[in-house]
Chains A and B, each alone.
Chain A
Amino acid sequence: MAHPYMANSVATVREEMLHGAGASTIDELFAPIPDAHRLRRPLALAPQLGAEAELRRHLLDLLGKNATCESTLSFLGAGSYRHHVPAICDEIAARPEWLTSVWGTPASDQGRFQAWFEYASELAELLALDFVGLPVYSYGCAAGHALRMAARTTGRRRVLLPAVLDPERAAVIANYLGSPDLPSHLRAGQIGYRADGRLDLDALAHELTDEAAAVYVENPNFFGVIEDGIGEVAEMAARVGAELVVGVDPISLGVLAPPGELGAGIAVGTIQTLGVHMNAGGGVGGFIASRDEERYAREYPTLQVSVCDTIEPGERGFGIALFAQTSYGAREQGNDWTGNSVYMWAVVNAAYMALMGPAGFAEVGEAIVRRGTYAAARLGELPGVAVRFGEGFFKEFVVDFTETGRSVAEIDAALRKRGIFGGVDLSAHFPELGQSALYCVTELHTKDDIDRLARELGEVIR
Chain B
Amino acid sequence: MTRSLRRYHAASWDEPTIMELGRPGRRGVVLPPVEEEIRREVPDATALVPERARRRVPPALPELSEWEVYRHYLRLSQQTLGMMGVSLFGTCTMKYNPAVSEALSRTAEVREVHPRQHPETQQGMLEVVHRLDLALRELSGMDRFVFQPGGGADAAYLQACITRAYHAARGELGQRNEIVTTIQAHPCNAATAAAAGFTVVTLPIERDGYASLEALKAALSQRTAALMVNNPDDMGIYNPHITEWVKAVHEVGGICFYDHANFNGVMGRIRARELGFDACMFMLHKTFGAPKGGGGPAVGAYGCAEDLAPFLPGPLVVEHEGRFALQEPDGVGRVREFLGNLPQVFKAYAWVRAMGAEGIAEASDLSVLANAYMDARICRIRGVTRSHPDLDTRRMEMTRYSLETLTRETGVTVLDVQNRMTDFGIDAFWLSHEPWIVPEPFTPEAGETWSKEDIDEWLDVLAHVCEEAYTTPEIVRGAPHNQVSHRIDPSGLDDPERWATTWRAYRRKHGA
Contact = CB atoms under 8 A, between A and B. Distances in A.
Nearest to B324: A65
Nearest to B494: A322
Contacts of A141: 150, 335-336
Contacts of B207: none
Contact of A354 (B69, B151, B359): B69
Contacts of B275: 37
B336 A98 contact: no
Among A3, A121, A171, A226, the one with the most B-chain Cβ atoms within 10 Å of its Cβ is: A121
Interface residues of B, number: 225
B48 A29 contact: no
Contacts, number: 763
B37 interface: yes
Contacts of B506: 121, 307
B339 A281 contact: yes
B366 A6 contact: yes
A195 interface: no
B334 A171 contact: yes
Contact of B362 (A6, A317, A345, A446): A6
Contacts of A20: 373, 376-377
B270 A38 contact: yes
B428 A103 contact: yes
Interface in A337-377: 337-345, 347, 350-351, 353-367, 369-371, 373-374, 377
Interface stretch (B184-192, B216-224, B404-412, B464-472): B184-192
B393 A32 contact: yes
Which range contains the number of A residues in contact with the other chain? 35 or more
Q: Is the interface of A mostly helix, strand, loop or mixed?
A: mixed
Nearest to A2: B362
Given A318-B488, A370-B45, A82 B112 contact: yes
B382 interface: no
A111 B76 contact: yes
A168 interface: yes
Interface string B46-89: 10111111111011111110100110111111111111100101
Contacts of B168: 179, 181
Interface in A183-232: 183-185, 219, 226-231
B242 to A, nearest CB: 7
Nearest to B28: A355
Nearest to A448: B35
A339 B46 contact: no
B418 interface: yes
B450 interface: yes
B348 to A, nearest CB: 12
Interface string A56-83: 1011101111111111101010111010
Nearest to B266: A33
A257 B52 CA distance: 8
A257 B59 CA distance: 10
Contact of B503 (A5, A112, A124): A124
27 contacts: A6-B363, A7-B454, A8-B370, A9-B448, A79-B115, A88-B69, A101-B83, A107-B422, A109-B294, A112-B76, A118-B19, A141-B335, A281-B339, A282-B297, A282-B344, A284-B337, A284-B338, A307-B506, A308-B489, A311-B486, A331-B187, A331-B191, A332-B190, A332-B200, A339-B154, A340-B152, A366-B45
A137 B501 CA distance: 19
Interface stretch (A39-47, A235-243, A398-406, A454-462): A39-47
Interface string A91-107: 11011111111111111
B80 A112 contact: yes
B116 A114 contact: no
A269 interface: no
Given A20-B376, A59-B346, 18 more contacts: A13-B451, A29-B394, A63-B109, A69-B112, A72-B121, A80-B338, A95-B74, A107-B486, A108-B428, A109-B79, A114-B15, A114-B76, A126-B59, A178-B196, A331-B191, A356-B28, A359-B58, A360-B29
A432 interface: no
B357 interface: yes
Contacts of A70: 108, 112
B28 to A, nearest CB: 3
A153 to B, nearest CB: 15
Contacts of B127: 62, 65
A46 to B, nearest CB: 6
Interface string B468-512: 000000000010100111111111111010111111111010100
A282 B266 CA distance: 29
A147 interface: no
A67 B427 CA distance: 41
Nearest to A148: B195
B342 A280 contact: yes
